[in-house]
Amino acid sequence: MYVRVLITGASSGIGYQVGKILASRGHLVYMTCRTIKEVFYLRKKLEREGVGAICLKLDLLSSDIDVVDSLDIDCLFNHAGIGTAGSILLMDEESLRDVYEVNIFRSFLLLKKVYAHMKEKNIAGKIFVTSSLIGMFPIPFFGVYSSSKAAISQLVRTLQKESKVLRDGISFCLVEPGAYATGFNQVMIDRVERYQELSPQFLSVHRYQRSLFCLLESKNIEKLAYKIVCEMEQKKTKRILRIPWIQGIFLKLYFFFFG
């Protein structure tokens, strides 16, 4: 099934892999990045891979989101997001607002615009939204990021129920990946120190979290990307993609015994 896909947060990691695979399979792909510099490097990277995709600047915190009004798309991969770590008790207001603004408010404003476009054009479209397994578990010093992901998951599940009532032909798929070795988790862990007093108790938890993520992280990003692409190509998509499932089981067991 041929799809025309808009991907946010496509400069690297999961978003990049999904876009590259889709384009290599003949689909029309709009891959977006936050800055002009990132767009330039994305184009060069795709050229080296021999893959053709349309690269656009789309900063969720700007009027860039209006670009969707001029695109004919039948699939959205709403993947862009930011993260920060540290206790909400010590975090500055700007960092807290940025996470919620990007991950929830502006992300879902973009989703609404795409939904309105699909409905106006009578397109039986698909909307994929990236959350995270971390949204299911209360991990110390990750509360701001994980709560934003929990909100995303709850909103998408609600949209799935609403779409049944509205019968508009637009489907929603919630993507809840576990820990993948994209570098994103390490950046968040390193930022914790900005907001914490470096007490022995904190440093002990910090070192443990570093080790836990290194142990859990899957390096097979391409396998995850293929599963997402396969769902995009299906006429009827799954409601939830939770990958890898073993991480979800591990975290449930961990919090059952030690949480």
Q: Which residues are catalytic?
A: 145
The pair of three-digit structure tokens given for residue 59, joined into one six-digit string: 């900063």
The pair of three-digit structure tokens given for residue 138, joined into one six-digit string: 């209360």
Task: Name residues whose C-beta falls within 8 Å of residue 220's C-beta, 6 or more positions apart in sequence.
Answer: none
State the Cα–Cα distance between residues 13 and 218, nearest whole angstrom.
12
**Among candidates 80, 75, 22, 77, which has minimal Cα distance to 53?**
22
Task: State the virtual CA torsion across 33, 181, 103, 232 in degrees, nearest 10.
Answer: 70
Contact 7, 232 (CB under 8 A): no
State the Cα–Cα distance between residues 124 and 129, nearest whole angstrom.
17
Omega prior to 140 cis, within 30 of 0: no
The pair of three-digit structure tokens given for residue 239, joined into one six-digit string: 């409601």
State the Cα–Cα distance between residues 70 and 37, nearest whole angstrom.
23
Task: Name residues whose C-beta falls within 8 Å of residue 83's C-beta, 6 or more positions apart in sequence.
Answer: 99, 145, 184, 187, 188
